[in-house]
């Protein structure tokens, strides 16, 4: 039976893992390669490395970081942040990533989705969507770009559909309303997107407990869920989380 995936996310800035709360307040959480291996060993089904570097120097360090992290990583490995062209994507794949996650660049030029897909396959392209809806309905949620700083006026559900049509392999949906709050995923928004597309939807933003994951896999109809802050600082690891999820009736991969 196909299991629900738990994805460990590392937000990296200038070669270090950091974690923000609602996209600001940055805390240092360690070395990306070391943390990637630790998460994989602890049973994470996938690793995502999101580069939130603003500086040119930091971009240079990124490929080196990807290479180091990928060297002994034998689970799917996604890299996102700053991938603007098919050449950027090729460099990231060459460094050892299996998938790239594109966000602002896909909004700016949606053709990019198909361009990367035609060379590396649709499975290698994740379109990341940062969504904010406040008190509004999921259908009215708006796409934000530039690390959550810029509203686009585009509806999330509609953009997810377009991304699928253009050849995205998966959607990574982050709720900016719940991100870093540890109070649960936005299940309504996740379900709305998951029902609108055929491709897998990865829920992100708000993980704080095993129950939150069970909720987003159930009510939220997510195929995978991503967590960053919950795994750092020894809060919990995938093995514990999965054991709890299994008790809650969620089908997960329990590593041997």
76 part of the interface to other proteins, by CB under 8 A = yes
253 part of the interface to other proteins, by CB under 8 A = yes
What distance in Å separates the CA atoms of residue 228 and residue 152, rounded to the nearest whole number?
25
Q: What angle do CA 65, 15, 230 make, to 5 degrees?
A: 95
CB closer to other proteins, 18 vs 97: 97
Least distance in Å: CB of 108 to other proteins? Answer: 25
Q: Which of 72, 109, 150, 219 binds other proteins (CB under 8 A)?
A: 72
Torsion-angle region of 43 (φ positive above 0: left; ψ -120 to 50: alpha; else: beta): left
Nearest CA to 66 out of 40, 92, 100, 47 is that of 92
Q: Which of 25, 55, 121, 151 binds other proteins (CB under 8 A)?
A: 121
| Residue bearing tokens 């934000």 | 144
CB closer to other proteins, 53 vs 78: 78
CB closer to other proteins, 153 vs 198: 198
- Cβ pair 63, 91 in contact under 8 A: yes
Other C-beta atoms within 10 Å of 244: how many? 17
Which residues carry out catalysis?
Answer: 11, 130
Q: Which residues bind other proteins (CB under 8 A)?
A: 1-5, 40, 45, 70-72, 74-76, 93-94, 96, 98, 119-124, 169-170, 198-200, 223-224, 253, 255-256
């Amino acid at each position: 039976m196909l299991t629900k995936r738990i994805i460990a996310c590392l937000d990296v800035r200038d070669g270090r893992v950091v974690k923000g709360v609602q996209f600001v307040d940055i805390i240092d959480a360690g070395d990306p390669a070391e943390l990637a291996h630790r998460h994989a060993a602890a049973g994470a089904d996938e690793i995502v490395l999101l580069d939130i570097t603003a500086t040119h120097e930091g971009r240079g360090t990124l490929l080196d970081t990807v290479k180091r992290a990928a060297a002994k990583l034998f689970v799917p490995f996604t890299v996102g942040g700053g991938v603007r062209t098919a050449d950027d994507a090729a460099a990231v794949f060459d460094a050892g990533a299996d998938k790239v996650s594109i966000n602002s660049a896909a909004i700016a030029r949606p053709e990019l989705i198909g361009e990367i897909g035609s060379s590396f396959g649709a499975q290698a392209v994740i379109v990341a969507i940062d969504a904010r809806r406040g008190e509004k309905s999921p259908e009215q949620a708006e796409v934000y770009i530039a690390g959550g700083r810029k509203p686009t006026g585009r509806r999330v559900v509609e953009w997810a559909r377009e991304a699928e049509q253009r050849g995205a392999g998966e959607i990574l949906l982050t709720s900016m309303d719940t991100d870093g709050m540890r109070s649960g995923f936005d299940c309504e928004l996740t379900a709305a997107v998951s029902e609108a597309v055929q491709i897998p939807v990865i829920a992100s933003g708000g993980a704080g407990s095993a129950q939150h994951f069970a909720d987003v896999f159930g009510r939220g109809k997510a195929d995978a869920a991503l967590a960053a802050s919950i795994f750092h600082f020894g809060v919990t690891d995938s093995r514990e989380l999965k054991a709890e999820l299994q008790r809650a009736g969620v089908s997960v991969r329990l590593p041997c």
